Amino acid sequence: MPIRLDPLLTRALARGLEADFRGARVRAVEFDHAARTARLYTDRGVLGFTVGGTVSIAVGDPAEPPEQARRMPLRIASVEAVPDERALVMTLPRIRGLKKSFEWIVELRPAESNVALAEGDDRIIRHVLEAREAHGRRWRTGHPYPTPEGPPRRGVEDDLGMDGWMALLAGVPPERREKTLLAGVAYTSPLNVAWILGDAAESTDAVLLREAFTRWKELVELGGAECIGLPSPSGPQPYPHPLGQTDPPPVESLTEALAGGEDEGASDPRPEALRRLDDLLRQAVRRVGSLRRQLETSADPGALRSTGDLLLARLAEVERGTERVVLEDFDGCAREIALDPLRSPQDNAADYYDRATKAERTRARIPELIAEAEAEVARLTALHDAAADGTVPRDDLERMLPARQAKGAPATGPTLPYRSYWSSGGIEIRIGRGAKHNDDLTFRHARPDDVWLHARHAAGAHVVLRWAFEEAPPSRDLEEAAVLAALHSKARTSASVPVDWTRRKYVRKPRGAKPGSVTLARAQTLFVDPDPSLPGHLDTRPPAGR
């Protein structure tokens, strides 16, 4: 059964773990990246945290650490919840010596769940379960732990009294008070906000609003780790307060509830749908990080254009056929410039101008893509919360997720050795599906006069632009094919990728060569930026009429 965590339940979990594990000796830590699980091997048991859209916590009997675990003689000095956050911090001082202590940090929010082992006052990450960059936060070994950003809600760093409560809510229409509480008041969540407000959600009576403050204060001042099971459509929801329910059953072990409950593997299809939702959410978070990295590492269009200007101004000093030249810049400093030796100085300058234009387009487009990706993360997070809370019927959840083919399902037809896109000009671009299929595409599914492309000096797909005319293909279509060749190569993360192109009839397969290995009798080279958004702008079906 999926369990929904909020800051109050996280605080109860921390208190339970503190009671069970404070003073325990840690023998080893393990980060199982394939299983997305981080484990602490202690003399009181194995404490495991599995992250994803759904977070599970498991406590097992003491066990011998496996070989891949890292031996670290530590002690659990404390377990605390980060105030008003779904995050736990375990302080782990060393048993011997005066070296810096560690912190075991577990974030339990669906969109950002992760586990890291940080060292010292600077909280430098030494191990992390999922290395990524998202929401402006960098989870990377050797970098400081990325503390969640944003102003705290009222009631964390300040003492929110009755006067502050009334000033915040008295002037808000009753129907908007729930959103105001969730956005601005600590420890409120979709689990408890309706009980906190009570009749104040429908009335302007100041007395009812003051009673709501009393209920909020009661929640904030809760002590202990005991939880009861609140009724929900998907089963009992553990919580440290009954929230107005009469005689709710107690939850014997919060960690057992978070480990999945007794009905794990039952016929209910919701767990499988939630696992799929977890994967979609994780992919969306990674896309945000990838786009942010692309924006950070994108070329400076001003610098590229300045290089083109300098080349044109110093043409007489540039010899054709050289790979690098040092020229005096306009400010009197020496600047080294990389050149394509097969092209003239004028063409090299034109290349720098073209790259500057592409960089400008990239910098203009990526913020919009980041906004779209972050909106998708927010949508999936809200869907996950609703699914975990049982407010989304199971049939609706299934319909909201993309369909996927079951394992072992028969294919609808023979699998081609390539996938196809159609360029902006309506020309088919074929991309090999792997080394063995590259040969198939090149020598069995391409005509002699088709244009053949491959990223230079990088493993990758063979690409064929279907073009049977004597003249060269349109530059835009050729460039799009070259970008696809760069994206389907190991050079896909580079700022600029050289892509060789020639007619297929000039491609040769040496005797005894490895699959996908070829030689070219002649070729030209394009330098392209591997724009990851291009495939989304191209058709994957033939244009109408073809």
214 SS3 class: helix
pLDDT digit string, tens, across residues 3-22: 778 999 999 999 999 999 99
What's the mean per-residue pLDDT of the chain? Answer: 84
143 within 8 A of 155, measured Cβ to Cβ: no
Average pLDDT over residues 403-427: 69
Window from 129-138, 234-243, 503-512 with minimum mean pLDDT: 129-138
Cα distances (Å, whole numbers) of residue 125 to 107, 115, 120, 134: 14, 10, 9, 16
Diameter of the chain measured on Cα atoms: 90
Q: Per residue, what are the HEC states of 432-500?
A: ECCHHHHHHHHHHCCCCCCEEEEECCCCECCEEECCCCCCCCCHHHHHHHHHHHHHCECCCCCCCEEEE
Instruction: Please tell me which residue, 250 or 539, carries the higher pLDDT value.
Output: 250
144 SS3 class: strand
Rounded-to-integer distance, Cα 420 and Cα 430, Å: 5
pLDDT at 500 over 90: yes
Window from 25-39, 76-90, 362-376, 406-420 with minimum mean pLDDT: 406-420
How many Cα atoms are found within 13 Å in the side-chain-facing hemisphere of 351?
Answer: 22
pLDDT at 504 over 70: yes
> Looking at residue 261, what is its pLDDT?
39
Window from 25-29, 114-118, 152-156, 285-289 with minimum mean pLDDT: 285-289
Q: What phi-psi label fits residue 321: left (phi over 0), alpha (psi between -120 and 50 degrees) or beta?
A: left
Can you list the alpha helix ranges (DSSP code H) found in 298-344? 301-313
pLDDT digit string, tens, across residues 308-343: 999 999 999 999 888 999 999 888 899 999 998 888
pLDDT at 435 over 90: no
pLDDT class of 267 with cuts at 50, 70, 90: very low
> Looking at residue 70, what is its pLDDT?
92
> Looking at residue 544, what is its pLDDT?
55
430 SS3 class: strand
pLDDT digit string, tens, across residues 351-399: 899 888 888 887 888 888 888 877 777 777 777 666 655 566 556 666 6
With a CB cutoff of 8 Å and minimum separation 6, the contacts of 421 are 428, 429, 431, 484, 535, 538, 539, 540
> Looking at residue 410, what is its pLDDT?
46
pLDDT at 256 over 90: no
How many Cα atoms are found within 13 Å in the side-chain-facing hemisphere of 418?
Answer: 26
Rounded-to-integer distance, Cα 429 and Cα 546, Å: 14
Rounded-to-integer distance, Cα 380 and Cα 396, Å: 14
Q: Per residue, what are the HEC states of 87-123?
A: EEEEEECECCCCCCCEEEEEECCCCCCEEEEEECCCC
Instruction: Report CA Rg, the chain.
Output: 30
230 within 8 A of 239, measured Cβ to Cβ: yes
> Looking at residue 213, what is its pLDDT?
96
Query: In the chain, what percentage of residues exceed pLDDT 70?
Result: 87
Rounded-to-integer distance, Cα 352 and Cα 337, Å: 10
Helix (H) or strand (E) holding 431: strand 428-432
Average pLDDT over residues 174-203: 93
pLDDT digit string, tens, across residues 464-482: 999 988 888 888 899 999 9
Query: In the chain, what percentage of residues exceed pLDDT 90?
Result: 47
pTM of the complete model: 0.56
Rounded-to-integer distance, Cα 250 and Cα 240, Å: 10
Rounded-to-integer distance, Cα 96 and Cα 73, Å: 8
Q: In what order do the strands lie in the sheet with 37-42?
A: 56-60, 45-50, 37-42, 25-32, 70-75
With a CB cutoff of 8 Å and minimum separation 6, the contacts of 40 are 26, 29, 46, 47, 48, 76, 90, 104
Rounded-to-integer distance, Cα 93 and Cα 95, Å: 6
pLDDT at 56 over 70: yes
> Looking at residue 246, what is its pLDDT?
87
For residue 277, the one-letter residue type is L
Average pLDDT over residues 124-141: 84
The distance of Cα 488 from the centroid of its chain, to the nearest Å, equals: 20
pLDDT class of 543 with cuts at 50, 70, 90: low
Residue of 210, 222, 215 whose CA lies nearest to 168? 210
Instruction: Please tell me which residue, 241 or 411, carries the higher pLDDT value.
Output: 241
Question: What number of helices (H) and strands (E) belong to the chain?
Answer: 13, 25
